[in-house]
Structure 1
Amino acid sequence: MSRLRNGTNRAALFGVAVALLTAGAALASATGVVRDRLPASLPRLPAGGTWLDGEALGRWRDQGWWPAVVIAALSVGVLLFLWWGWAQVRVGRLRELPLGQQGVTLSGPALAAAMAERAEAVDGVVHARVVLLGRPRRLRARITLVLAAGSRPEAVLRDLARQAVTEARAAAAPRTVAVDARLTVRHHGARRLR
């Protein structure tokens, strides 16, 4: 998940949480049980009062524009929420990859496991982890490789592109497969002498 998307999700969740907590605290302060336990310095709603008295409510009823504005704002809010939810579901780990018209599918985790196995067969790779992301038409493979100490990263990447990535692209054809490779090196800890 990109940093921008991750930050946007956290900001949206934080804003919703603050709004819900504020509204819940305001409503809870109107009940007698909660209001009596709050410190005197905290603001609270009156116990038997209403937010709009009859006179203010009459003034609002005389203006016919506000119900349409409230309904439009709520509709836009619901549409934005649905769009955000669809964006969260749409891009993520690939579950299934349709292979033909007969309903044959390839499991995304199975393809990722096969790619990881082929990547571990590359000379100089100690461990490989593959995650398939994206949509069935445009795949993205995130490959994390742990290299043995002393191995050459350029040779490992070249062999990885020739073997595991080429086979994955052939299996997913005619779809495109973009690859992000992350390399780390296994360091041997220094032995302590006593």
Structure 2
Amino acid sequence: MLRVVNRVFLGLVGLVLLVLGGSVLAVGLGAPVPSWWIHDSEHDVLLSEAERTRWRDDGWWWPVVIAVLAVLLLLVLWWLVAVLRRRRLAEVLVDTGDGEGAVLRGRALENVLTQEAGQVDGVDRARAHLTGRRTAPEARVRLALEPHVDPGTALTDFTTGALAHARTSAGLESLPAEVRLQGVKHGAERVS
């Protein structure tokens, strides 16, 4: 969901900047002035002397402008950090026992964990993601359970089965997991 919002937001911002920048460039190069343009001709400046000095004598103007720009800058930086931060673990460092190490792709371990979790009795769907550091990974797992399944039993089967296999196969001392359980909702069917 966040990925879709980011792409739509970036697309809209890019489109607005492209239209405004392109129109400024076109008018500056002598193209006819569009009807929605804020000035009358290509020789008008964007901010006249009167517009630039209009609020200079008011004491509240510049602190408000600086505060609004600072808040906008912080929001843009927060968004940029949120977009660039990796949510998934790309690789897991496996201790091979000989002083060397091997690298296991995070997606491969996620896929195996998802497939094994999906084979637990009563689990309709499973999804696993690895987070954390490559030397200390953590798993986030969602299990969609059938209505007849006891959640405690399904969780025990998952932790002693799929999660234990993933931990031992990757040579990890521990593999903490956050498991979210949800029930599967089946649609009503007509019985004749």
Work out whether the TM-score is over 0.5: yes
Partner of 1:44: 39
Residue 24 of structure 1 corresponds to: 21
The superposition leaves residues 103-153 of structure 1 with CA deviations (integer Å, 9 ceiling, x where unpaired) of 521111111122123212322212222122333134232212121221111
* 1:45–1:14 Cα change, 3 Å: farther
Determine what percentage of the aligned residue pairs are the same residue: 31
Q: What is the match of residue 65 of structure 1?
A: none
Unaligned segments of structure 1, at least 5 residues: 54-76
Give the 3-state SS of the residue equivalent to 1:128 in structure 2.
strand
Aligned to 1:153: 151
Q: Is the 8 A contact 1:26 1:45 kept in 2?
A: no
Deviation, 1:27, is 2.2
Identify the residue that residue 94 of structure 2 maps to in structure 1: 99
What displacement does 1:51 show?
6.3
Where 1:183 maps in the other structure, the secondary structure is: strand
Q: Take 2:79 and 2:101, find their aligned partners in 1: how far apart are those partners? A: 29
Secondary structure at the residue paired with 2:176?
Answer: strand
Q: Give the letter for the 1:173 counterpart.
A: L
Of 115, 118, 121, 1:117 maps to 115
Identify if the C-alpha distance between structure 1 residues 191 and 122 changes in structure 2 by more than 3 Å, giving closer, same or farther.
same
3-state SS of paired residue (2:143): strand
Matched to 2:179, the amino acid is A
2:105 is matched by which residue type in structure 1?
S
Shift of 1:46: 4.5
TM-score (norm 2): 0.59
For structure 2, list consecutive stretches of 5 or more residues without a partner in the other structure: 49-72
Superposition deviation, residue 94 in structure 1: 1.9
Instruction: Assess if the C-alpha contact under 8 Å between 2:167 and 2:175 holds in 1.
Output: yes
CA distance 1:113–1:33, shift in 2 (3 Å): same
Which residue does 1:66 correspond to in 2? none
Q: Which residue of 2 aligns with 1:177?
A: 175
Question: In the superposition, relative to structure 1, how do residues 186 and 107 fare at CA in structure 2: closer, same or farther (>3 Å)?
Answer: same
CA shift, 1:164, in A, is: 2.1
Q: Residue 92 of structure 1 aligns to which amino acid in structure 2?
A: R
Give the corresponding residue for 1:60.
Answer: none
The one-letter code of the counterpart of 1:105 is V
Bigger proportion of residues as helix: 1
